[in-house]
Amino acid sequence: MKVKDKIYYFFVDRKPEIKREYEGYISRNLGMHHKHRLRSWIYLFGLHLVYFGKKGGRVQPRYGNNLKYPEIGIEPRLSVDELVAELAAYDVISFDIFDTLVLRGISDPRNLFVLIGNRLKVTGFKVLRVNAEADARKKHPEINGEITIEDIYEFLERRCGVSREQGIQTELEAELQFCFANPYMLETARKLQEKGKRIIATSNMYWDSGAIRKILDACGYGFIHEIYVSCEYKCSKYKGELQKKVWDVVGRENTVIHVGDNYTVDFVGSRMAGWKAFYYKNVNEIGRPYRPAGMSDLGGSVYSGLVNAKFHHGLLEQRPYFELGYAYGGPLVAGFCHWINEYAENHRIDKLLFTGRDMYCVHRIYNKFYAKYENDYIAISRFAAQRFAYQGFSEYFIDSHIKARAGIEKLSIREALEELDINCLYSFLAEYGLDESLLLDLSVFPELKQCMEDHKEELLDEFQREKEAAIQYYSQFVEKNQRIAVIDLGWQGTNALCLKYLLENETDYDVELFSLLVCLTGRRSFVDHCYSGKVVEAYCASPQHNRQMLNHFSRPSSVGRFICELIFSSPEDSLRQFSFDKQGNLKLLYNSNEKRKEGVFSEIFAGIFEFMTDIMNLGLTEEEMAFSGFEALLPLNKLFYNLPYCLEILSGNPVNPWIGITKNEAALDIEKIVR
């Protein structure tokens, strides 16, 4: 080993954390690095101070709340035509394979060993596989550790009893399953082929060229006929040795440029060999700061791999609402649908009712990718539900609609009652010293509340026809003696609890209803009672589990509620109340003053749908791709800390998770409410 290489190993290679941070810094500052090497050395010295000093014993990644959004396009690439023009100046174009020509649906290839271990039925296989590879490299120092897959499984066969042939075949099948073409590079390579250019693939890999050929063919690169891998040439790209041998094969008279994602191996190594080089920054390195910590090895790595590949290959243009759907709504909806099926199986559920409007997207995704149980999509809203279930929810109605409006201090009593369509109270106001022209604020709220409590029967009469209409409407979706799960977003389960009251107490269907929510934040005693009685269950978080995740959802004004309401939005209007027309036919009345910016819903849904399609294309079982509620919420949890971007996303999209706050107030001043 040369003195220069020994120095580089000592200061960079021997600590993976320092190596990752230093090479990431170089890749972001290539121009400066070539002109001012001293700055890079100072940065490297600083990394050593952090790692070995008193600041925690390790290099802290630069994850923070000041990330720039939207994420798509954060590291602009050359256009395909620009890259083709640059590469076409050379006789031979060499491409790295993994993370360049081919992307994986997993951010860390070592986490693929978790899946392989499950299939081989070997506990702790990931560690065994990593150690076997390291030991195999140590066993062959004479060839710089350039081993074959057979060398690795020779160790594993002795250590865990897996036959070499079975292990290698299982791992190759997993690679084929998770690899897909980088669309940016596929288009680039095809255009170079059309120009008659000689295209080769050059890789540091323990797979032989036959296995690599299968992977490239499966990914659409059947036109690349020359494959050069380090394990067959017994040397690496690291110092340019493999490139030199390949150059001898393709002809030294030809000019060669190499394209790859590893700065040290592909860029520096190729330059050392005398080739030109083009650095294609690794998609996972670009996306890493945006991905949350705390997800499982397999699920988290699959999530990160798909998002990083989708957002950073180089062809996708900025689409903020698509990004919101794909990276943040995708795992949430996927995990929720799987959890619904698990719950239904464990609790002998006969039917699922997805509530409008919040479950519009989930209902469509469920029936496309997860459908196991009979289900329907029903019209409901908190406002309409509290009216048809007023007998059991009068206190909640007063609190949610009257007290909340009193806190706004912008409505007269008459305006508030008109909004709530409870005009029958006008004639009783004087008994309590109230006038309909008075401003509804907290000073008059006690008297108005008393008025409503004293005249509950009149209000029940007012709501009677709505209750009858609601019973007629919901009767078409239920049968006698069914166990029904009502699926909703959150936050206190109001819709399901009111519907439960209506069907269990006002009809003879003898049904049993359960409420399944994404998140439960309710603190009211009836919600706590229902939760403890297993009537309400939450997928992600509740006061009883994953409580630490509720910080961004705890208040009606929390940014998490607004963002989730937007993700789970619908093109439909909000149900106001049930009614009958003059002929006695059932009629549903809707609000129409909560319109999103044009294209927002379709973009968010497109993102969620594409995430589901991509994860399904990996061929995982439903259990293998299941996200726990905790980890499904982690991407959003990270996003919520960037409040300016959240407000930018919400801008122009009236979202109102507050029962009792007027639509205009919630729609026009989201920033004020959140702050």
Residue (of 160, 158, 93) closest to 125 by Cα position: 160
Tell me the helices (H) and strands (E) count for the chain, helix number first: 33, 14
CA distance 574 to 358: 10
Q: How far apart are CA 549 and CA 625, in angstroms?
A: 22
Instruction: Identify the pLDDT of residue 661.
Output: 43
**Contact status, residue 152 vs residue 206, Cβ threshold 8 Å:** yes
Q: What's the pLDDT band for 1 if we cut at 50, 70, 90?
A: very low
Phi then psi for residue 655, to 5 deg, are: -125, 130
In the three-class reduction of DSSP (H, G, I as helix; E, B as strand; rest coil), residue 394 is classed as helix
Confirm if 515 and 533 have CB atoms less than 8 A apart: no
- Could you identify the residue written with the tokens 């990752």? 20
Cα 294 to chain center, whole Å?
A: 14
In this predicted structure, what is the pLDDT of residue 142? 63
Q: Which residue has the tokens 């990330």?
A: 67
The tens digit of pLDDT for each residue in 80-112 reads 999 999 999 999 999 999 999 999 999 999 999
How far are the Cα atoms of 216, 318, 359, 601 from residue 323, in angstroms, in the given order?
29, 8, 20, 12
Q: What is the per-residue pLDDT across 129-166, written as a single tens digit (0 to 9) for each? A: 999 988 988 887 766 668 899 999 999 989 888 899 99
Give the gyration radius of the chain's Cα atoms: 31
What 83-87 contacts at long range (C-beta under 8 Å, 24+ apart), as own/partner pairs, is 83/188, 83/278, 84/188, 84/191, 84/192, 84/195, 86/278, 87/188, 87/192, 87/197, 87/257, 87/259, 87/278
- Reduced DSSP (H G I as helix, E B as strand, rest coil) percent helix, strand, coil of the chain, to 5: 55, 10, 35
| Distance separating alpha carbons of residues 13 and 19, to the nearest angstrom | 6
- Give yes or no for residue 388 having a pLDDT over 80: yes
**What is the Cα–Cα distance from 476 to 212, expressed in whole angstroms?**
57
pLDDT of residue 250: 92
The pLDDT tens digits for 468-527 are: 999 999 999 988 888 999 999 988 888 888 989 898 888 888 889 999 999 888 655 555
- Give residue 551's pLDDT band: very low, low, confident or very high (50, 70, 90): confident
* CA atoms within 13 A of residue 613's CA, in its CB half-sphere: 9
Is residue 57 over pLDDT 50? no
- Please state the pTM of the whole predicted model: 0.83
Q: Give me the chain's average pLDDT, please.
A: 85
Q: What local confidence, expressed as pLDDT, does residue 663 receive?
A: 44
Residue among 537, 533, 611 at smallest CA distance from 342:
537
Residue with tokens 């992977």, as numbered in its chain: 215
Q: DSSP state, 70?
A: S
pLDDT higher than 50, residue 665: no
Q: Which residue has the higher pLDDT, 60 or 382?
A: 382
In whole angstroms, how far apart are CA 269 and each of 137, 241, 261, 266, 396?
A: 20, 8, 12, 6, 69
Q: What is the pLDDT of residues 623-636, one digit of tens each?
A: 888 889 999 999 99
State pLDDT tens for residues 405-461: 887 667 888 888 888 888 888 888 888 888 888 888 888 889 988 988 999 998 988
Please state, as a whole number, how many other Cβ atoms lie within 10 Å of the Cβ of residue 35: 9
Distance CA 195, CA 172 (A): 33
Percent of the chain topping pLDDT 70: 85
